[in-house]
Structures are given as structure tokens and as C-alpha cells.
Chains A and B, each alone.
Chain A
């Protein structure tokens, strides 16, 4: 009745009343920022394009067969994988303590754990030498008792890589554990499960995607590790010369092709890692 009249009065009677088309949304980017953004983007992309342009595509196969390249590749894969395994064994428990522990000083421990993330890697290498070197705080004892000296061995590479890469795993797993659903933990408890049984059969499967992501990140970081490794383990061919060290060495020796090939491999790995983690880390909408 009255509402009908009001409608007819407000719009035309013969056409369906439709709200006016909203104006196209204006983008909020000030034009003055577009130029520096463009320059910045080119700056980020150019080096990678350069690598692709200068790559010795025709002789790629031969370059990959170069003993130095092959040894470095093998050693890198071995040490990065070992340090990831060690990080899993030691890092997951740390993540559990940080995520579920209720004690004072937890914030301090978390801060200490993340120090290697921001510490310059070369400083990490020096720190490892002072702790585990032949004259180091702990290393001296070990040497006195067993005659074993860690620095400049393949194991030293693994130790250096683990020191730098483990925090990545801890942070990722801790995040996953914080997001884990405690309702299932409670259900498991009422079904007679001890905390350890619950962890193995309920919690761990639940946070597995987080553990996997953390392991991939950790592995990638270990693979690219240079500063701490070179400082603590040196760069001995076939023993401690991992890919990043080999890149540096070949360049120094005036063999840019080998350096480019190694760099290509490392870049390929990085892109693969990025792709495998894209759902978790790249897309802003799915970021948690």
C-alpha cells in the first residue's frame, strides 16, 4: 500500500528498479610510486635474467660432468639432507617445547633459537669455531679425550648448515603446533592415550604439512649455506666444498661457466622450493 506508492514515486514504474552501476573502483596507487616500483622490479629480476642469458646452454651437459661441479653437487645434497634430518630430530622437540610448554623464560628461549636467523652466517662460523674448534670451549675437551677435531671435515659442514638452517624448521613447526587442534588431544586422552602416544598418532599427523614445509625450507637454507660453512669447514674439494663454495672458487679461478652452471642449479632448486611452498607462503589470501 504505502510502500508501493513510495516505490513508484521513487523510480520509474515500467522498469525494474536496479541500483546504479557502481563506478569502477579507483586504484589507490599514487602515480609517483609507479616509477620506483618498476625500477625496483627490474632490479630484482635482472640478475636472474642475466644468469639465464649467459648460461652455457650448449655445453651444459659437459659442465655438469665436470668433477668439481659433480663433487660439489653430491656433497651439497648429502650435507643439506643430513642437516635437515638432524634438524628434524632436534628441532621438532624444541618446537613442541616452545609451542606447548608453560614455563617462565619461554620467550627468551624462542628469541635465542631465532638468533641464527638474523646472525650474519660468517659470525655463526666464527662462533662455531670458538665452541667446537680444536681450541674451542667444548672442542678442546673433545680433542684432548678422543683426538677428534671437527672443523674442516664434512661433518663440520653438516654442523654449520644445521646451525643456520634449524631455526627455519623450528619456527615453521612451532607455528603448525600452535594452530593444531587441542580438541583431538583431549579426545585421545579420554581414550587412554599417554602424551607420547597422542603426540605420535594424533598431533604429529595433524602438523605434518607444517613439518614438511619446515623441512623443505630448512633443506633449501642448508643447501645455500656459505658463510658459516666456509668459516667453520673451509672449502676443500670433495670434502667440504659445497656448491656455494664451488661457485666462489670457480669464479675466482676464472671459470665463469662452471659458476653459472652451479648457480643455475641452485636457482632451480630455489624455484622448486618456492613452488612447493606456494600455498603456504606466497599467496597472501591463504597466509595464516
Chain B
């Protein structure tokens, strides 16, 4: 297709992460090229077994690759005879299961990475207290991890990873262990801290929504290979394989909370279950719905209280069992319809149609 597979986000960068390696365990082999500029977040997106955790272990130094190199801010961490052990890499990790030390308080967990780098007890605790304060956890500083909620533990883990000021931050499925409600809070919190973090970030996730909300670029992994890479919006709109289409197919918009829905910058209104979020009118939010939730009509549907958008079909792609329509209009929408519907309705590029989405099919997130 039109995007060369190994290019988009891989131009040589002065700082940040520059990795190109082959690694594996047993039968499995991962071949990955990855470049992340300082201040950017790249999501490694893929299902279980795609090679995400192998990539993570190589970047941390816990697993030696078969070959290739890993460079961070121009310093060679891995390559040829060079193998910098994990404890000497300026890399912070937020583990999926947090891995907070159970015998240490939240404060001492955060202080851990400062003490190992030579700070004395008082100074490192002071610094750790500052980080806990940034996470809004000051009152929980003395608690042991077992006494923290999932969301609190996640924030302690983030503070612990950020406190030593790493040059590379690795997030391993940062939201996977949380329930739906906590997920919203934590995702918002993560977004804020990633925006303030000056280093490169690699986010490992199987959840396309996490990738889209948290990352600037995405690399889709499948069976140890990168099958597509590019800016998040680009990959979502132009999936190059059926697999990527299924994985990242998502309509995602940014706007402000309004009465009963979300108001986009151009004035378009999407009715959505905004009340569930507890957002106040004017809050920045994101609204998302899958292409399969979009219905397409050739005549304006009447009498149903849902989102209706006039649009023109600009493109059509066949994906395993369904046809993905690219619609352009008051709202740019991806819609998955059956091949039968395409034939019955005579859908062809250039045709004017109405796209509808039920408010209940949409999800709203804090932005």
C-alpha cells in the first residue's frame, strides 16, 4: 500500500530511543525496529504472543537480544559486545502487575530508585514525597501496597518509575489490571504525566483505545513482526491489513462535554452517555465508537433519537466479512456494513448517505 512499512516513525533521531533488534525465547522470534523521539509516546499494539513483552524485556536489559542495537540519547545500551545491565540503564518501567515491593511503604517504593542511585535516605524520601504529591497520594504515603486500591497502586508505580528521571519510560499494559471506572481516572492521569514527561515513552498494550488515547504513534505487532506503523490517526484510518482493521477500527473524536453529549471543535454535536463520566460542561473529553456501531441509510432516517450525520462515501475496503466505508461529511466516520447491505443499498464511492450511531453505542473518556 502507500505507506512504506519500515519508515514513518523511524527517521533517525538525535535523542530518544533508537532500537533495531532480533530477540526471542524458544521458538518465538521478534524482529523489531523502533525509534521514539524525546517527548513522544509510541504504542506497541498487538495481541498476546505478538512479542510485546519480549520487546519490553529487551529494552529493560532483562533479555539479551540475538542481535541488533538499542541506543538511548546516543548512548549504546545494547549492540555487539555491549550489554548494559538493567540497573545501569536510565529506563523506568511501570509493570502491568505494578510489582510494588510489598514490604515497603508507598513512599519507600518511590524512594527506592533514588536510593539505588546514591541519594541519602532523607533526600530520596523528600523527593519521593514530592512525586506522591504530584500523583495526589500524599495521604497514602505510609501505606503498604496491599492497603492501596488498584488505581492508587498504579499511580505509585508511575511515581516510582518517573522519580529517578529516566530517559525512557516503559508502560506495560498500564490499564489492564483496573476496573472500568478506575481506568478512566488512571488514563487521564497517565495522559497528563506523559505530556509532562520529557523522555521517550513506549507503551505496550493490546487495547487499541489505550494506544490511541495515550500514544502519538503506533506500531502494530503480529507474530513477532511489525505489520503497520505510523501516527495513531493514520493507522486507525488506513489499516493495511484485515488484522489491523479489526484491531484498531475505531471512530475517535475530541471535544468538550455538553448537555447530553460532546460538542466538537467544528460545532458538530454527538449525543453520548456523558452523565456516566461525571464530566462538567466544557471539560475536554473524547468520544469513541466502533465502525460496526454505525448504521448507513440512503434516506434520512426519521423518528429516532440518535446521532444522524449526512456524509458522502469516499472509499470502500473489504475486510474479513464486512465492508468498511470511509464517510466524509459533517463528521468523518468509518462504518462497517455487510456486503449484502452494500449491494441492497447500492453503496458506491461518491454516494450521499446518512450515518447514524446510537448514543448508547458510544463511549466517552476524559481527554
Contact = CB atoms under 8 A, between A and B. Distances in A.
Interface of A: 183-184, 186-194, 197, 201-202, 205-206
A193 B164 CA distance: 12
Nearest to B163: A191
24 contacts: A183-B95, A183-B97, A184-B102, A187-B99, A187-B101, A188-B101, A189-B60, A189-B61, A189-B62, A189-B85, A190-B61, A190-B87, A190-B91, A190-B92, A191-B87, A191-B112, A191-B116, A192-B113, A192-B164, A193-B112, A201-B101, A202-B101, A202-B103, A205-B101
Contacts of B104: 201
Interface in B312-344: none
A206 B97 CA distance: 17
A190 B93 contact: yes
B117 interface: yes
Contacts, number: 60
B101 A186 contact: no
B160 interface: yes
A91 to B, nearest CB: 22
B86 A190 contact: yes
Main secondary structure of the interface of A (DSSP, over half): helix
A201 B121 CA distance: 14
A89 B98 CA distance: 33
Interface of B: 60-62, 85-89, 91-93, 95, 97, 99, 101-104, 112-113, 116-117, 160, 164
Given A189-B85, A191-B164, 5 more contacts: A186-B60, A186-B62, A188-B112, A190-B60, A192-B113
A191 to B, nearest CB: 4
Contacts of B91: 190
B97 A186 contact: no
Highest count of chain A CB atoms <10 Å: which of B85, B101, B102, B164: B101
A191 B160 contact: yes
Contacts of B117: 192
A193 B95 contact: no
Nearest to B100: A187
Q: Which of A192, A205, A206 has the most CB of B within 10 A?
A: A192
A206 B102 contact: yes
A211 B51 CA distance: 38
Nearest to A205: B103
A220 to B, nearest CB: 27
Most buried by B among A184, A191, A193, A194: A191
Contacts of A184: 99, 101-102
A190 B95 CA distance: 11
Nearest to B91: A190
A188 B112 CA distance: 8
Most B C-beta atoms less than 10 A away, residue of A187, A188, A197: A187
Contacts of A194: 87, 116
A191 B90 CA distance: 9
Q: Which 6 A-B pairs have the closest CB atoms?
A: A191-B113, A192-B116, A189-B86, A187-B99, A205-B103, A193-B116
B86 A186 contact: yes
A194 B116 CA distance: 8
A188 B116 CA distance: 9
A192 B87 contact: yes
Contacts of B113: 191-192
Contacts of B99: 183-184, 186-187
Given A187-B95, A188-B112, A201-B112, A193 B87 contact: yes
A79 to B, nearest CB: 32
Contacts of B86: 186, 189-190
Nearest to B103: A205
A188 B160 CA distance: 11
B164 to A, nearest CB: 6
Nearest to A187: B99
Contacts of B60: 186, 189-190
B56 to A, nearest CB: 10
A194 B87 CA distance: 6
A111 to B, nearest CB: 31
A152 B247 CA distance: 78
B159 to A, nearest CB: 12
Nearest to A193: B116
A184 B145 CA distance: 13
Contacts of A192: 87-88, 113, 116-117, 164
A190 B91 CA distance: 7
B53 to A, nearest CB: 12
A144 B138 CA distance: 66
A196 to B, nearest CB: 11
A56 to B, nearest CB: 48
Contacts of A193: 87, 112, 116
Contacts of B164: 191-192
Q: Which of A183, A190, A193, A205 has the most CB of B within 10 A?
A: A190
A188 B89 CA distance: 12
Given A192-B113, A192-B164, A197-B116, A187 B93 contact: yes
Contacts of A201: 101, 104, 112
